[in-house]
Amino acid sequence: MHNKSVAELSRELESGKISSVELTRQFLDRLKQEDGKYNSFITITEEQALAEAKAADEMRAAGKATAWTGVPFAHKDIFCTNGVRTTCGSKMLENFVPPYDATVTARFRQAGAVCLGKTNMDEFAMGSSNESSYFGAVTNPWGLSSGQKRVPGGSSGGSAAAVAARLVPAATATDTGGSIRQPAALCGVTGLKPTYGRVSRYGMIAFASSLDQGGTIARSAEDNALMLNVMAGFDPKDSTSIDREVPDYTATLNEPLKGLKIGLPKEYFTDQLSPAMEEQVRNAVKEYEKLGATVKEVSLPNAKLAIAAYYVIAPAEASANLSRFDGVRYGYRCEDPKDLMDMYTRTRAEGFGAEVKRRILVGTYALSHGYYDAYYLKAQKVRRLIQQDFANAFKEVDVLMSPTSPSPAFIQGEKTNDPVTMYLEDIFTIAINLAGLPAMSVPAGFVDGLPVGLQIIGDYFAEARLLNAAHQFQQVTDWHQREPK
Amino acid sequence: MQWDIVIGLEIHVQLATKTKIFSGSSTAYGAEPNTQANAVDLAMPGTLPVPNENAFRYAVMFGLAVNAEIGRRSMFERKNYFYPDLPKGYQTTQLEQPIVGPGYVDVDLANGETKRVRIHHAHLEEDAGKSLHEDYHGMSGIDLNRAGTPLIEVVTEPDMNSAEEAVAFAKKLHSLVTSLGICDGDMSQGSMRFDVNISLKPKGSDQLGTRTETKNLNSFRFMEQAIAHEVERQMDILEDGGRIIQETRLYNGDRDESRSMRTKEEANDYRYFPCPDLLPVVIDDDFIEDARSRLPELPDARKARFKEQYGLNDYDAGLLSGDAKLAAFFEEAAAHGKDAKLAANWIQGEFSARLKAEDKSVAESPITGAQLGDLVVRIADNTVSSAGAKKVFEALWTGENDNVDAIIDAKGLKQVSDTGALEAMVDEVLAGMPDQVAQYQNEEDPKKRKKMLGGFMGPLMKASKGQGNPKLFNEILVKKLGG
């Protein structure tokens, strides 16, 4: 059962061959047995999962089942879950149990899905390797057989690793600068970051509010579509969510790709990319040509400024978003504070990890009096130029394709002491968040036995087209079905 | 040396919306601590603000009432600082694109002049919670019921030149927002709080001096005292050749003392930046016209109407039209009492004195305008004397009885106005006081004679058991005693 997709499990449940309680028990047993190798979960919610499975079986018996009723999955530990601790990978929230559901959580609950637990992540979603989690690094299932512990990517590394290791068929994720796509690429699974505003951010713990977007990780494009069907939609609790009709994302998966116009941004095929990686990506593009697509080179002239602009805007927003973690109302508070200032400084010094503190400092600096114009305002101007670059590109083509990451999964510890090298992991993904566009990462081959991801970028609200393109590719390739040994 | 005083105000006005500016919690005052704070108000992780349309409507109504331009694109910024009663670690406020742009308010001064005070802008923001420092054994308590209450912060130009002008402006603003119904105006509960910026400059100079800001004054009296105190403090420093330090000061009204809270150098760097959780709010023509259609009669129009409709003089009309609740009370009394001038006198006399003595607002008055109107009818038709009327008022106030005529009957306050009966009493009293009668008739100074008349009133009121109409007694006396 653990190798089956969400769509397949849904059919198994519908046929009555297995109950959700039985299925959930199988997944839980496997999860408890296997996850020691990956550390992909922070919290396993066995009791709640079995209760949800029981309720799902009753829901099905009552004829009220959805595609998700009784299907096990997991939430990234950034989505608040009513009554279940939500840590965001931080000591600060080690014992935080929210009294409310995120809108994403509530929607899966309503659909009758069975949440097995909360997946590991970089602390406050800040990282590209899942090494900044207070709950320990996550190990990529790929490469383990050769005795090397590689990173799964980040920040949704727990979700990507859990899906790759067949611990769950699908897991929610979030993407601020590449946090869905890069781990999906490094773990050989399929991930989608929707258009900014497509999925509610309510109850999704904020890192950088103007960039954060909830999304999906599963093995197939079809399962991503099933997830997005649940997650997408306007939410009156999120003023930045967009009131726009949500299509059935599975309905257009089988549209032919004949005439699809693909653009290859030349700035994304430079010497930062190893020839082996580039070859895999170009092979994938050739598959699309075989499916009837046309390919041309396009230019995103300001793409090179994306990392710099991002590392001003994201930390600036984070510096304010993380001010609420002050030890006053919830979360970690230092022992025996001697006065208010002592409580603030020690609570935050002890509660946050190094990368989080680094970004709070960078963001605070960028917003400071006398620096605001030079950093924050300038970065916002760059952001508009980048948006314009994409708008120009989409006048010529339907989708853009590029590598998702510059290299495959690297060995744990390799980049931890060099933040700038680590930040370059997101060089192909970050501009998309600055523009607010949707993008996917789709398994597209291997280099040295490690997965390579193809990034497909669409225009605003083109999720259905991206899923269609990914699904068609997965009909003629089997990269997404390869299982790590 | 002669000095010019320059004063500008910043006023925080709590908007009387039912729910908070960015959450659905109630804004009602006085609930148990933290019972009106939901996940958003507590800044729980992942929660997001959703703007309250009514707060925008009230702000636009205010803007229209002060003749201001309405900001068509309203942005919110985050103002970052740490404080235990500021749950998010930043206040959501407006900096670059406030909802109310430049406007003005005309203020009538006691000397009969009208002063125009320009409004620089007014912006929407959220209130913080409260830190409670008593009763926690050396620790502080945090009450977040107030956190997220909508405020408009009104910022004036430095157009006021005395404490009197500043207070007159403050009262006018209070009158405006209560008339608009966008603020309950209850200053003791912090519904309006004033920060006063003060500087001095040599008389006639066009160079502004260094200013100080005195924060959080929550009564007109404290505001007046604080300004007088600060002007004197600055004057002493300047006349001794010293320099004013730009700083924020706190005034203690009970002790008439102030102290420095922080200097400019110690001021926070608030690191303002646009709030990414809130999109810019576009205020369109329809929204503005809708707000305009909701504007009630404003104090200036009401004052003019009171003069016209009730024949009040400028002073009375000004006093009664300022406070919306007092104006309504007056109109109810005038409608029932038929004699608007007499109703006005009673409201400004007995009624206001009693409210003040018991520290009550008009809304808390135990008597209604209709009851006072009924009493005015009985005064005007001579049923009760003014002394008797005070007894009726007392009975109404204490709730002894709520019907004016019933009180008059029960207390025997009805005046005897039967001329024959009164004449008989006068004859009897005068017959018993022959010396005083002779004395009166021998006196030539009309002023002294008038005074001597009073000597007969006591025995007359005694003879009539207090029920004789004093006005009639007076007329009869004059007639009988011969001019």
A132-149 pLDDT, tens digit each: 999 999 999 999 988 899
Rounded to an integer, what distance in angstroms lies between the CA atom of residue A204 and that of residue A156? 13
DSSP β-bridge partners for residue A263:
A296, A400
What's the token pair of residue A211? 């960039």
* Global ipTM: 0.96
pLDDT at position A220 over 80 = yes
Query: Could B271 and A372 be called an inter-chain contact, meaning their C-beta atoms sit closer than 8 Å?
Result: yes
Return the residue of A nearest to B272 by Cα: A367
Locus of tokens 């009791």: A47
Q: Does B139 touch chain A (CB under 8 A)?
A: no
Buried b (16+ CB within 10 A) or exposed e, B354-377: bbeeeeeebeebebebebbbbbbb
Architecture of domain B419-481: Orthogonal Bundle (1.10)
B114: exposed, middle or buried (C-beta count within 10 Å: 0-12, 13-18, 19+)? exposed
pLDDT of residue B456: 87
Instruction: Flag residues of chain B having pLDDT under 70.
Output: 483
Q: Between the CA atoms of A183, A155, A299 and A473, what dihedral angle is there, to the nearest 10 degrees?
A: 30
Closest among A198, A261, A291 to A397, alpha carbons compared: A261
Rounded to an integer, what distance in angstroms lies between the CA atom of residue A417 and that of residue A412? 11
Return the residue of A nearest to B79 by Cα: A320
Query: Could B48 and A239 be called an inter-chain contact, meaning their C-beta atoms sit closer than 8 Å?
Result: yes
Q: Do A433 and A151 touch, CB atoms closer than 8 A?
A: no
Closest among A273, A265, A271, A264 to A301, alpha carbons compared: A265
- Residue B261 sits at φ, ψ, to 5 deg, of -95, -50
pLDDT of residue B322: 86
More reliable by pLDDT, A41 or B460? A41
DSSP B100-162: B-SEEEEEE-TTS-EEEEEEEEEEEEE---EEE-SSSTTS-EEE-SSTT-EEEEEEE-S-B-S
- Residue A72 sits at φ, ψ, to 5 deg, of -75, 150
Number of other CB atoms surrounding residue B192 within 10 Å: 25
Chain B residues close to A78, C-beta within 8 Å: 46
> How do residues A332-367 score in pLDDT, each as one tens digit?
999 999 999 999 999 999 999 999 999 999 999 999
pLDDT of residue B483: 58
**Please, how many CA atoms are within 13 Å of residue B285, restricted to the half-sphere of its CB?**
0
Give the H/E segment covering residue A167.
none
Q: Between the CA atoms of B15, B17, B19 and B21, what dihedral angle is there, to the nearest 10 degrees?
A: -50
* Angstroms from B105 CA to nearest CA on chain A: 34
Q: For residue A449, what pLDDT band results from cuts at 50, 70 and 90?
A: very high
Q: Does B89 touch chain A (CB under 8 A)?
A: yes
Q: Do A463 and A438 touch, CB atoms closer than 8 A?
A: yes
Closest among A402, A384, A386, A388 to A439, alpha carbons compared: A402
More reliable by pLDDT, B428 or A257? A257
Closest among A316, A307, A425, A439 to A371, alpha carbons compared: A316
Residue B260: is the preceding peptide bond cis (ω within 30°)?
no
Cβ-Cβ contacts under 8 Å for A8 (sequence gap 6 or more): none
Give the H/E segment covering residue A4.
none
Name the residue facing A323 among B82, B273, B276 (closest C-beta): B82
Query: Could B50 and A239 be called an inter-chain contact, meaning their C-beta atoms sit closer than 8 Å?
Result: yes
Cβ-Cβ contacts under 8 Å for A350 (sequence gap 6 or more): A91, A332, A334
* Angstroms from A316 CA to nearest CA on chain B: 9
Class of domain A1-485 (CATH, top level): alpha beta
More reliable by pLDDT, B363 or A187? A187
Q: Do B13 and B201 touch, CB atoms closer than 8 A?
A: no
Return the residue of B nearest to A87 by Cα: B45
Q: Do B80 and B114 touch, CB atoms closer than 8 A?
A: no
What is the sign of the dihedral through the CA atoms of A191, A404, A156 and A408? positive
Instruction: Please report, for chain B, the start and end positions of each structural domain, with discontinuous segments joined by +.
Output: 3-291, 297-411, 419-481
Rounded to an integer, what distance in angstroms lies between the CA atom of residue A403 and that of residue B61? 54
Query: Could A330 and B88 be called an inter-chain contact, meaning their C-beta atoms sit closer than 8 Å?
Result: no
Q: Does B88 touch chain A (CB under 8 A)?
A: yes
Q: Between the CA atoms of B68, B74, B77 and B83, what dihedral angle is there, to the nearest 10 degrees?
A: 60
* Angstroms from B268 CA to nearest CA on chain A: 10
> How do residues B380-421 score in pLDDT, each as one tens digit?
888 888 888 999 999 999 988 889 999 998 888 888 777 888
Buried b (16+ CB within 10 A) or exposed e, A168-197: bbbbbbbbbbbbbbbbbbbbbbbbbbbbbb
> How do residues A451-476 score in pLDDT, each as one tens digit?
999 999 999 999 999 999 999 999 99
Query: Could A203 and B51 be called an inter-chain contact, meaning their C-beta atoms sit closer than 8 Å?
Result: no
Chain A residues close to B279, C-beta within 8 Å: 239-240
Strand order across the beta sheet in which B212-217 lies: B103-108, B114-126, B150-156, B3-14, B192-202, B212-217, B247-252, B257-263
Best to test chain B binding among A86, A91, A324 (most B CBs inside 10 Å): A324
Q: Do B167 and B173 touch, CB atoms closer than 8 A?
A: no
pLDDT of residue A246: 97
Query: Could A323 and B46 be called an inter-chain contact, meaning their C-beta atoms sit closer than 8 Å?
Result: no
Which residues of A have a catalytic role annotated? 76, 155, 179
**Please, how many CA atoms are within 13 Å of residue B204, restricted to the half-sphere of its CB?**
2
Number of other CB atoms surrounding residue A160 within 10 Å: 36
**What three-state secondary structure class fits A179?**
coil
Rounded to an integer, what distance in angstroms lies between the CA atom of residue B391 and that of residue B409? 12
Name the residue facing B42 among A79, A210, A329 (closest C-beta): A329
Between strands B281-282 and B73-74, the pairing is antiparallel
pLDDT of residue B477: 85
Q: Do B414 and B382 touch, CB atoms closer than 8 A?
A: no
Query: Could A369 and B271 be called an inter-chain contact, meaning their C-beta atoms sit closer than 8 Å?
Result: yes
Query: Could A330 and B142 be called an inter-chain contact, meaning their C-beta atoms sit closer than 8 Å?
Result: no
Find the range with the poorest average confidence among A213-222, A243-252, B447-456.
Answer: B447-456
Q: Does B253 touch chain A (CB under 8 A)?
A: no
Cβ-Cβ contacts under 8 Å for A392 (sequence gap 6 or more): none
Return the residue of B nearest to A79 by Cα: B46
Rounded to an integer, what distance in angstroms lies between the CA atom of residue B258 and that of residue B231? 12
